[in-house]
Amino acid sequence: MRSVDATLPPVPGIASADVLIDRSARTRFRLGFDRAMGWLTPLLFLVAIVPILDMVYYVSLKAVPHLTWTIITGTNPYEANVYLGVPLYTTFYVIGLATAIAVALGLFGGIATAELLPEQWANAARTGANLLVGTPSIIIGYLGYLGFVLYFGWGPVFIAGVVTLSFFMTPYVFRTADLAFSSIPRHIREAALGSGAGPSQYIVRVGLPIAFPQVLTGVFLAMAIGIGETAPLVVTMQPGVLVPQNLFSPAKTLTMVIWENFQSPLAANQVLAFEAAFLLLVIVLALNVVVRVISARYQKRLEGLYQ
Amino acid sequence: MLSYLRYSAIAPGLIPSGIIVAIVIALVFASKLTLLHNFFGFNWNPTLSWGIGAFVAGSFLTAIPALAFSMLIGLGLAVASTTYLPRLVASLLDPFVDLLAGIPSVIYGIWGFIVIGPYFGMTINPWLADHLRLIPWFGPPSGNTLGEGLPLAIFLLTLMALPITTLLIRDSLRAVPRDLWESGLALGATRWEVLRRVALPYARRGVMSAAFLGFGRAFGETVAVAMVFGSTAVIPSNFYGTGYTLAAAMFELVDSSYGNFQFLAVLTEMALVLLAISLAVNIIGRRLVIRLSTTEVAGV
């Protein structure tokens, strides 16, 4: 305003240029409202932050005082409501195998969609992946239950849960692979193809090294989501007290322990549920941090490629 | 050679779509689309009356208020982090919202049932029932003291849909061209006015897609709702009553259906209803959003 003051010619009948500043009640309200929103909307972050902290605090409060190394790793099947070793190892088996299947199902599809498919087919493939992400997990559980458990006659066993869970994780791997390959700068692709590489050589020699961190992010993300999934596993696996001996053994993961025990009238069972919840929370939060770190570093690297 | 490679790429590309087709085939095959007695009614009394109305009603009664709350809060959060907060502060706070999507639903469930539930049951619900007694459906009785019931389910679903709505609205507000912002500000509008008159109308497709996809998430949520909604196959008697949603009922009743063809047929038909609604909502939501800048949040 000051610079305007300085250059304004004197106006006959007006003592100072001050009257040019709008001080009406309406303007004061507009400015005040804007400022108030600037303070109020950030307060809404409390709605997200307080529940997370409360969750972490209470789950730790109920679990940590009881938690010992023996409880985490113990596998005595006669003490299945004290030790968490069996569900913990089973969770890793389930998630490991399911991730392997999900990568096999999703990775090639994602790369093919980004690099090879004609536009219409690629859009159809992306729509399918997006819709599968939006499909409720219980419905994928029903596919496993109706298909593997009943129709194929496998019964409620380890492998039925694993394959069902991998269907659930596939679209996440698929979409990040697609996104990673689509976001490689165009000039790199053109340079590779222009210097005589075929499409498959380009994908393996050029594309994959660039896109690898983000593909890895997708795999970790799929693991973080799959490890916390309950519904597809509860309907496709019979809870067992041993680490699965083969693909057709009963199996029980950490999420199933929580689901079985959260409503129990026995205090010991509730403690077990909270211990399982605590382990699960630690694993999931760690995976989420890994995802964030990798993707932040990848972003920097990708920005470097554009120069 | 090239075309051969291209066509061989169609098969892996269509795996996710193939899984959806497999789901539809499995559900139709297992249910044979038999419409048992009183299927569209509200009376659930297995082997005599198979009305799924109460489950559908429970799903809508939980999902719609949860969506409304999470849209309001999500809009506020997106506005705060795109318009008002400094970039650094926003980039520190946003991950907390995204983290809400990463927490497993079973942990929401146990936290809701054991930690938050009694607080709802003994403090919030009686207080609400006392103060809203003049509004027909919201008066006493205030439900059970464990807190199982609509308010707790709505609360958890609001938190679970929040990352999706926030992320989509935030993304679409970020896509508003800077020119529009700067011309608005240069004309003398406040930040709020530019947001309200320029940015939000520009981003309206993104906001609408947030509503649809957030609804899809809230509508299909299974385990957390099954843990806190009380598991009774009736329409909630009042705002504090217990009930069932489609997904929760499918999840908890599948054991009872073993060896009973009729029971399994009804459950798979409920799955078809749930699938049809969530596919429809997702198709509409995806058509509205053009391209997301990130896929690093579960369920988006």
CA dihedral A192, A194, A199, A203 (to 10 degrees): 10
SS3 A113: helix
User: CA-nearest residue of chain A to B115?
Assistant: A58
| Rounded Cα gap, residues A67 and A74, in angstroms | 12
> Whole-angstrom Cα distance, residue A24 to residue A281?
55
Q: Interhelix angle for A85-115 vs A254-261, to 10°?
A: 120
Distance CA B248, CA A138 (A): 9
Q: Do B254 and A145 touch (CB under 8 A)?
A: yes
Closest residue in chain A to residue B270, using alpha carbons only: A139
Do residue B20 and residue A150 have CB atoms under 8 angstroms apart? Answer: no
Nearest CA in chain A to B250: A138
Task: Say if residues B78 and B169 touch (Cβ distance below 8 Å).
Answer: yes
CB of A40 closer than 8 Å to CB of A33: no
Query: Chain A residues with CB inside 8 Å of B99's CB?
Result: 52, 285, 288
- Report CA-CA distances (Å) from A55 to A52, A277, B223: 5, 10, 17
The one-letter amino acid at B287: R
Using CB atoms within 10 A of its CB, is residue A190 exposed (0-12), middle (13-18) or buried (19+)?
Answer: exposed
Are the beta carbons of B27 and A288 separated by less than 8 Å? no
Comparing CB atoms, the residue among B13, B22, B106 nearest residue A143 is: B22
From first to last of its 300 residues, chain B has per-residue pLDDT tens of 457 777 778 888 899 999 999 999 999 998 888 877 788 888 888 878 888 999 999 999 999 999 999 999 999 999 999 999 999 999 899 989 988 988 999 999 999 999 999 999 999 999 999 998 888 888 888 888 888 999 999 999 999 999 999 999 998 999 899 999 999 999 989 999 999 999 999 999 889 999 999 999 999 999 999 999 988 888 988 899 999 999 999 999 998 888 888 899 999 999 999 999 999 999 999 888 765 555 555 556
CB contact under 8 A, A284 and B103: yes
Give me the architecture of the B52-288 domain, per CATH: Orthogonal Bundle (1.10)
Q: Do the beta carbons of residue A236 and residue A149 sit within 8 Å? A: yes
All structural domains of chain A, each given as residue ranges with its CATH number in brackets, are: 2-43 (no CATH), 53-305 (1.10.3720.10)
Q: What is the CA radius of gyration of chain A?
A: 28
Closest CA to B71 of B171, B207, B200, B219: B207
